[in-house]
Amino acid sequence: MCGIVGYVGDKEAAPVLIKGLKRLEYRGYDSAGIAVLGRAGLEIRKSKGALKKLEERIAGELGEGALDGSMGIGHTRWATHGEPSDINSHPHTDVSGKIAVVHNGIIENHAKLKSRLIEHGADFRSETDTEVIAHLINFYYEGDILQAVIRAMKRLEGSYALGIICGNNPDRIIAVRKESPLVVGTGKGENLIASDVPALLEYTRDVYYLDDREIAVLYRDRIEFYNEEGERRLKESHHIKWDAAAAEKSGYEHFMIKEIHEQPKALRDTLRARIKTGDTNINLEEIGFDASWAKMERVIIAACGTAWHAGVIGKYAFEKFARVHTEAEIASEYRYRNPIFNPKDIFLIISQSGETADTLAAMRLAKKGGARIIAITNVVGSTLAREADLVMYTLAGPEIAVASTKAFTTQLMCIYLISLQLGRLRETIGDTELTDHIEALKRLPEQAERILSEKENIQRFASLQFNKSKVFYMGRLFDYAASLESALKLKEISYTHSEAFAAGELKHGPIALVDDTTLVTALCTQPALFDKMGSNIKEVKARFAATAVITYEDVDYFDKTADQVFRIPRTLDSLSPILTVIPCQLYAYYCSVLRGLDPDKPRNLAKSVTVE
Ligand code: F6R
C-alpha cells in the first residue's frame, strides 16, 4: 500500500528510483511519480496508471539534460484521499515548489491543517491529505529543512512515512516515519530509503529500521538519526541475509506460483530453526518462551485476513494441545470493542508484514491492558517485531504476491510449535502425543512437495471449473478454518464469488444459495466427522452442485459421493490445514490465470494494509 523510495549518491537518481518503485509494485498502486533534484532544480514527473507509463514519459527526457540529478524521491500511490489522477499522484510540493514530499499513511487532521494553511496563503492543487505536509513544512521553513520537518511533525496527526527533499538544502533527503514502514539503506557513497527491503537490495544489504517518530537525514556519504526533539541518536544497522534472488520470479510466471512452490522449503526452515535435525524437543527458550508462559490463563489471537485464518486454526490448536481458553479475534473489530484484559492473557499477534494498521492497534491496546505479547511475523525489524515482548519469525523469505501463501503455512507452523510447547509446559499433552505431533510436523515439508508434484490434477480441474459463478468451501473444525482461507484465496485473485461455511451451518442458511452453477469443495480430514461430511456433500449434490473433496490418500469414503476427489498425504488431523490449503491455493491461482487475470496484482488490493 503506497511505496516510497529515495536515493542520494553518485548515480543518476531517476533510473534508480524507477527500479526501486518496480520492486515495490507488489504493494499495490494506481499512480506513480518521482522528484529529482539536479542542475535544473527540483523536477517532478508523475502519472496515473502503471509505472510503465511514467517510465515511458521520462525515457525520452533522460540524457537530454532533464531529470539529471543524483538525488531524488519516488512514490507509488494507492488512492485514499482523492481519485487516482496525475495531479493527486506524489510527490507533492509547497507553494514555492522547493519542497517535495512523498507519503505513505493518512494525515487525519489534514482538513483542519488545510484551512489554516490556506489562510496563510497556501494554494492547494490536489485533493490529497499529503499536500498539507509540503505546505506545512514550507510554513515552518527558515533555512533548515530538518528543523522545519521537526516542527511540522508536531502538528501532524495520523500515520506517515515520509521522504522529503528541498531545493535549498540540495545535499540531503529527510526520512521520517510514524506507524508506517520505512527502511533506510546504507551503501558505499550512496544512501537510500524504501518502504521495503527488496527495493534496496541491488545497492546494499545494510539497513536501518526507523523507530516511530525517528528521523533520518541521508547525505551521499553519511546518515544522521534524530529523535522528534532534534537530538542526535545512534543506531545499529542490520545485515539482510536473504538473497536478492528471493525477491525475483526465478523463471516462474508469477510470484504467487513461485511462493506456493517455496512452501516446502519455508516450512522446513521455520521448523528447523526450532527443532534441530534428529531432535524431538521444541526449542523456544532462545526466543524467550520459557516456563513463565505456562502460568498464563487465556490466549487471545488477533490478526487480519489470511493471518486471522491462521489464528482460527491457532484457537483450535491451543485449546487442543494446551487446554487453554483461546479466542481468535479480527483485529479491526477487536480494537473498537472495549475488550476485557487480564494480566494473565497471552496476546498472540500474527502478521506477515508486521505493519498492518489494525493489527498493530490491537496489539497496542492489549499491551496497555497489561497482556504479554507474542508476535508471529515474517519481517525482521517490522513495527510488530519491535513492539512485541517476544517474536517468532516465519522463515518464509520475502512474500511479494499480494495473495499470501507461504506466509500462511509458516504462520501455522509457528502456531503448532508454540501451542505444542505450551501444552508440554502446562502438562496437558502426553509425551507420546507430543512426539507424534513433532514427527508429523517434520514430515509436512516433504508431504507438501508431493502435493505440488501433482499440481497438474488441480490445473486440469480448474480448466473445467474456472467459470463457475459460485464456489463454496466447507469443512468442520480444522477443515472449516482451512476453508476460510481457501475461499479468500479464490475470491481475491479470481474475483469469483466464494465463501466458506462450517459444514454444520449449511442447513441453517447457505444451502439456499446452492444450485447447478455452484461448485462446493469439501475439506475432509477429520475422520470422526466423515459421516457428517458425507451427508453434507449429498445435500449439495441433491441441489445440482458440482462437488469436490480433499481428503487423505488412504481414504476412499468419498469416492462414490463426490464428483472429484483430490488426495493429500496422511497427517495428524490437527495439522491437516498446512496440506489441505495447498491444492486450494493452486486452484485459486489457476482460475485467476485461466480468467486472464494477474494473480500477483489483484484489483483493489494492497500487500501491506498500513492504513485503516
Ligand atoms: C490475503 C492477504 C491478506 C493479509 C492481511 C493481513 O491473501 O494477504 O488478507 O493476510 O491483509 O496482512 P498481514 O499478515 O501483513 O498483517
- Which helix (H) or strand (E) element contains residue 497? strand 497-502
Whether the predicted pLDDT of 410 surpasses 80: yes
CATH code of residue 17: 3.60.20.10
Q: How confident is the model at residue 343 (pLDDT cuts 50, 70, 90)?
A: confident
Determine the pLDDT at residue 245.
Answer: 67
State the distance from the centre of ligand 1 to the C-alpha of 346, rounded, in angstroms: 22
315 with 371, same domain: the answer is yes
User: Domain ends where: 419, 434, 453?
Assistant: 453
18-27, 279-288, 351-360: range with highest mean pLDDT? 351-360
Cβ proximity of 182 and 195 under 8 Å: yes
Cβ proximity of 401 and 260 under 8 Å: no
329 with 355, same domain: the answer is yes
CATH code of residue 471: 3.40.50.10490
pLDDT digits (tens, 9 = 90+) for 222-243: 999 999 999 999 999 999 887 6
Dump the DSSP string for 347-367.
EEEEESSS--HHHHHHHHHHH
Eight-class DSSP state of 403: S
Q: Write the single-letter amino acid at 419.
A: S
Beta carbon of 304 within 6 Å of any ligand 1 atom: yes
CA 67, CA 45: separation in Å to the nearest integer? 9
Beta carbon of 307 within 6 Å of any ligand 1 atom: yes
Going by alpha carbons, the residue nearest to atom 10 of ligand 1 is 306
58 with 14, same domain: the answer is yes
User: Domain ends where: 428, 453, 478?
Assistant: 453
Residue among 179, 180, 306, 492 to mutate when testing ligand 1 (max atoms within 8 A of CB): 306
CA 40, CA 477: separation in Å to the nearest integer? 64
447 with 458, same domain: the answer is no
State the distance from the centre of ligand 1 to the C-alpha of 404, rounded, in angstroms: 6
Instruction: Determine whether 63 is exposed, middle or buried from the number of CB atoms within 10 Å of its CB (0-12, 13-18, 19+).
Output: exposed
Whether the predicted pLDDT of 464 surpasses 80: yes
Q: Which domain holds residue 339?
A: 254-453
Determine the pLDDT at residue 88.
Answer: 92
Beta carbon of 330 within 6 Å of any ligand 1 atom: no
**60-74, 307-321, 592-606: segment of lowest average pLDDT:** 60-74
Whether the predicted pLDDT of 307 surpasses 70: yes
Determine the pLDDT at residue 61.
Answer: 76
Beta carbon of 130 within 6 Å of any ligand 1 atom: no
266 with 413, same domain: the answer is yes
Beta carbon of 312 within 6 Å of any ligand 1 atom: no
Task: Provide the number of structural domains found in the chain.
Answer: 3
362 with 416, same domain: the answer is yes
C-alpha 364: how far from its chain's center?
19
CA 2, CA 177: separation in Å to the nearest integer? 14
Q: How confident is the model at residue 171 (pLDDT cuts 50, 70, 90)?
A: very high
171 with 57, same domain: the answer is yes
Global pTM exceeds 0.85: no
175 with 274, same domain: the answer is no
Q: What are phi and psi of 25, to 5 degrees?
A: -55, -35
Residue among 78, 254, 356 to mutate when testing ligand 1 (max atoms within 8 A of CB): 356
Among residues 367, 323, 329, 322, the alpha carbon closest in space to that of 345 is found at 367
State the distance from the centre of ligand 1 to the C-alpha of 608, rounded, in angstroms: 7
State the distance from the centre of ligand 1 to the C-alpha of 557, rounded, in angstroms: 35
- Which residues fall within 8 angstroms of residue 401, CB to CB, at 6 or more apart? 26, 254, 255, 256, 258, 259, 599, 600
Cβ proximity of 124 and 95 under 8 Å: no
Beta carbon of 332 within 6 Å of any ligand 1 atom: no
CA 372, CA 390: separation in Å to the nearest integer? 8
| Atom of ligand 1 at shortest range from CA of 377 | 14
What is residue 334's three-state secondary structure? helix
Among residues 590, 382, 366, 606, the alpha carbon closest in space to that of 496 is found at 590
Q: How confident is the model at residue 30 (pLDDT cuts 50, 70, 90)?
A: confident
State the distance from the centre of ligand 1 to the C-alpha of 545, rounded, in angstroms: 30
Q: How many CB atoms lie within 10 A of CB 531?
A: 10
Q: How confident is the model at residue 357 (pLDDT cuts 50, 70, 90)?
A: very high
Q: How many CB atoms lie within 10 A of CB 10?
A: 9
Going by alpha carbons, the residue nearest to atom 16 of ligand 1 is 351
Mean pLDDT of 83-92: 91
Mean pLDDT of 197-220: 94
Determine the pLDDT at residue 80.
Answer: 80
State the distance from the centre of ligand 1 to the C-alpha of 601, rounded, in angstroms: 14
Determine the pLDDT at residue 244.
Answer: 67
| Atom of ligand 1 at shortest range from CA of 309 | 10
Instruction: Determine whether 488 is exposed, middle or buried from the number of CB atoms within 10 Å of its CB (0-12, 13-18, 19+).
Output: buried
C-alpha 41: how far from its chain's center?
37
State the distance from the centre of ligand 1 to the C-alpha of 609, rounded, in angstroms: 8
Cβ proximity of 24 and 198 under 8 Å: yes
Whether the predicted pLDDT of 79 surpasses 90: no
Eight-class DSSP state of 469: S
Catalytic residues: 2, 607
Percent of the chain past pLDDT 90, that is, above it, reads 83
Going by alpha carbons, the residue nearest to atom 9 of ligand 1 is 305
Determine the pLDDT at residue 1.
Answer: 67
Whether the predicted pLDDT of 65 surpasses 80: no
Mean pLDDT of 341-369: 94
Q: How confident is the model at residue 342 (pLDDT cuts 50, 70, 90)?
A: confident
Q: What are the strands, taking DSSP E only, across 125-222?
A: 160-166, 173-178, 183-186, 191-194, 206-209, 214-218
97 with 181, same domain: the answer is yes
Beta carbon of 475 within 6 Å of any ligand 1 atom: no
- Which residues fall within 8 angstroms of residue 104, CB to CB, at 6 or more apart? 1, 2, 3, 4, 75, 160, 161, 180, 181, 182, 195, 610
| Atom of ligand 1 at shortest range from CA of 303 | 16
The arrangement of strands across the sheet holding 325-330 comes to 325-330, 298-303, 345-351, 372-377, 390-393
- Which residues fall within 8 angstroms of residue 308, CB to CB, at 6 or more apart? 302, 328, 329, 330, 331, 350
468 with 599, same domain: the answer is yes
User: Domain ends where: 188, 211, 246?
Assistant: 246
Q: What are phi and psi of 601, to 5 degrees?
A: -130, 70
486 with 400, same domain: the answer is no
**16-25, 30-39, 45-54, 79-88: segment of lowest average pLDDT:** 79-88
Percent of the chain past pLDDT 70, that is, above it, reads 99
87 with 47, same domain: the answer is yes
Determine the pLDDT at residue 84.
Answer: 86
